[in-house]
Structure 1
């Protein structure tokens, strides 16, 4: 009789363990849960170790993917890690970015940790005008909607902190782009990176 009870207990533990879903956030953190519903803007779930407890919710914009107990996956994020999104940002700025005051100059971006520096460059890629500031993408205060102009160009406006040596102040990072769709994709990438850099979500 004891053997049957022991076997039944192991079977139940195996079933409960198998029925867990795994939620991976864009910031790299993950947790086991029982996902109840995936809605238009958020998911609802129960904690895997407290299935009789309260229902929690999480914004889909904070989630990279959900792996369900049956092996199926819902992937919401475009980028698997911080390096991938940074690479996209650098390449998109290089391809579509243009100096706000001189349309003959392009843009080049580089990262230093959480900070980005965007310089104006000539056609050969040499720095023509160097931005004196680094912009902190982990402390963004607001993302404005992409502003589309009649000539097809677009502007990104990001309110965040800029740093030069020991001086830090809140300001607006403005990036001019030659293509509106590319500007929207870049804006989305900046938003995802901001989420990824916030480890305390």
Structure 2
């Protein structure tokens, strides 16, 4: 009889533990996430979007006050159902608007492979390739052939912020972009990351940034078209 009671107690402990875990998981998927341009994430319940601002309540304090944030501070909103709404205004010059996705990708690969380096030294160049519409950047050793690692895979349809090119000298500039990278291939988990690239030349750095902005614009247009079907 005592053994049966022990089994019952263990069963109920397991049962309520499972219920608790399920409840936590359901709760965690019920929020909207406001992603600011500086990368900060606000777990919230978005209530209204006006031409100037986003009105929301904190997800874990929905009985609290209504809050406002300027749309100019927001990169995107990831809604509870997984859809994304982008707010960052990325300007693309008129000269680039007629350049196709494939041409843009080819230009990015060519310029990064010629002028792009790991942020700390000119001794480790980047090797850029595309896997579908994802950009892989691999750091090479000094010989420019052997890879240091497998590199990172970037999703330029999900850019948080393009910063201005940092100009250090005529032959040295830095690119700084907050963008999503693949963190876990098996789970298809992506996370925000700051890409810092050393570039040998200011015009070259500006050209790479403009091409990446155009890539972002083309991918967002493609996603919008795909969503309609």
Q: Whole-Å Cα distance in 2 between the matches of residues 113 and 153 of structure 1?
A: 31
Q: Which residue does the alignment assign to 2:200?
A: 178
Q: Which structure dedicates a bigger proportion of its chain to helix?
A: 2
Deviation at 1:103, TM superposition (A): 2.2
Deviation at 1:78, TM superposition (A): 6.0
Q: Whole-Å Cα distance in 1 between the matches of residues 92 and 196 of structure 2?
A: 25
For residues 34-183 of structure 1, what are the structure 2 equivalents within 5 Å?
61=91, 76-77=95-96, 80-122=99-141, 124-150=143-169, 152-164=171-183, 165=185, 166=187, 167-183=189-205
Q: Whole-Å Cα distance in 2 between the matches of residues 109 and 156 of structure 1?
A: 15
1:110-153 deviation digits (Å, cap 9, x = unpaired)? 11123111112245542332254311101111100001114731
With the length of structure 1 as denominator, give the TM-score of the two structures.
0.58
2:213 aligned with 1:194 = no
Equivalent residue of 1:137, what SS? strand
Equivalent residue of 2:135, what SS? strand
Q: Whole-Å Cα distance in 2 between the matches of residues 173 and 115 of structure 1?
A: 14
CA gap of 1:62–1:157, structure 2 versus 1, over 3 A, is closer
Q: CA RMSD in A?
A: 2.6
With the length of structure 2 as denominator, give the TM-score of the two structures.
0.51
Equivalent residue of 1:149, what SS? strand
**Where does the alignment leave 5 or more consecutive residues of structure 1 unmatched?**
1-58, 64-74
Residues paired across the two proteins, number: 132
Contact 2:119–2:174 at 8 Å: present in 1 too?
no
